[in-house]
Amino acid sequence: MSKALIVIDLQYDFCPGGALAVPGGDQIVGGINELMHGFDAVVFTQDWHPEGHSSFASSHPDHNIYDVIEMPYGPQVLWPEHCIQNTSGAEFHEDLNLARADAIIRKGYRSEVDSYSAFFENDKITPTGLEGYLRTRNINDLHLAGLATDFCVAYSAIDAAKLGFNTTVHTHLCKAINLDGSLETALLNMKKEGVLLHG
Ligand code: VGL
Ligand code: ZN
C-alpha cells in the first residue's frame, strides 16, 4: 500500500496577477515542494479549458462573473476566462518541482462541462481516469494541497473520500477563493465525508 500527493491546479491564472487570482496562491509552492519528499507518488492536476468554455461568464452574454447558472448537470459558477489551453496562464508555477510528477491529470477540457474534481467532471459521472491510475498503482492514502481550497481541492478530496481513499487535505498548503462563504461550506462538507484536515 502506497501514498500519493495530489497537487491541485498550481497554475499562473490562480496566482496573484492571474486571471482568477487566489490571494496568496503563490505562497504555498515552496511548502508543497517540501511535502513531496515523503510520498511514493506525486500527481499534478492542471485546469485546461478550451477557448469559449461554458464555465466562462464571457460565454453567457446575459450573465456576470460569479453568477451561478443552472447547467444540464447542475449549478455552475461563471468564472473569468482562465487556464485556456496553451496560454501562459495555464502553465504551472515555475518554482513548482514538476520533475516529481509521475502523472499530470488535465481537466475541464470539454467545452460543455466544467471539472473541479480531479476524479470526475462536474456532471459527477464522467471520470478523469485518476481513480484507475491510483488503484492500479496500489495507492490507498491520498494527500492533497493546492488551489483553490473551496473548489478544486474540496471537490477532489470529497470524491476521493467517497471512492474509499484515506484522504487528508493540508489546509496550510491550500488557498481559497471564498465566494459567499464557500470556504466554510467546503471545510464542513469535507469533514462530513471523513476527509482529514491537517492544518
Ligand atoms: C478552479 C474555479 C474554476 C480551481 C478551477 O482550481 O479551484 N476554480 N476552475
Ligand atoms: Zn477552471
Catalytic residue of the set 13, 83, 107, 114: 107
Segment 47-99, tens digit of pLDDT: 999 999 999 999 999 999 999 999 999 999 999 999 999 999 999 999 999 99
15 lines ligand 1 (CB under 6 A): no
Q: What is the DSSP letter of 108?
A: -
Contacts 24+ apart (CB under 8 A), 181-185: 182/150, 182/151, 183/149, 183/150, 185/150
Pocket test of ligand 1: the residue of 44, 77, 113, 116 to mutate, having most ligand atoms within 8 Å of its CB, is 116
**Grid coordinates standing for 85?**
489551453
Ligand 2 (single-atom ion) residues, CB below 5 Å: 47, 108
Question: Residue 1 pLDDT > 90, yes or no?
Answer: no
DSSP letters spanning 38-106: G-SEEEEEEE-BPTT-TTBGGG-TT--TT-EEEETTEEEE-B-S--BTTSGGGSBPTTS-GGG-SEEEE
Span between the terminal Cα atoms of the chain, in Å: 25
Which atom of ligand 1 has the smallest separation from the CA of 152? 7
Question: Is the CB of residue 48 below 6 angstroms from any atom belonging to ligand 1?
Answer: no
pLDDT computed for residue 53 by the predictor: 98
What is the per-residue pLDDT across 185-199, written as a single tens digit (0 to 9) for each?
999 999 999 999 999
- Provide the 10 A C-beta neighbour count for residue 14: 27
pLDDT reported for residue 193: 98
For residue range 89-138, what is the model confidence (pLDDT) as tens digits? 999 999 999 999 999 999 999 999 999 999 999 999 999 999 999 999 99
Closest ligand 1 atom to the C-alpha of 151? 7
- The alpha carbon of 1 and the centre of ligand 1 are apart by a number of angstroms equal to 30
In this structure, are residues 28 and 174 in contact, taking their beta carbons and an 8 Å threshold?
A: yes
> Does residue 9 have its Cβ closer than 6 Å to ligand 1?
yes
Residue 173: is it exposed, middle or buried by C-beta count within 10 angstroms (0-12/13-18/19+)? buried
Ligand 1 centroid to Cα of residue 150, in Å, is 9
Q: 80 and 68 in contact (C-beta within 8 Å)?
A: no
Whole-structure pTM value: 0.98
Taken in order 149, 162, 53, 78, the sign of the CA dihedral is: negative
Q: Is the dihedral of CA 46, 19, 60, 176 positive or negative?
A: positive
- CA–CA separation, 104 and 45 (whole Å): 6
Q: Nearest C-alpha to atom 6 of ligand 1 is from which residue? A: 152
- Predicted pLDDT of residue 14: 98
Is 150 a residue of the active site?
no
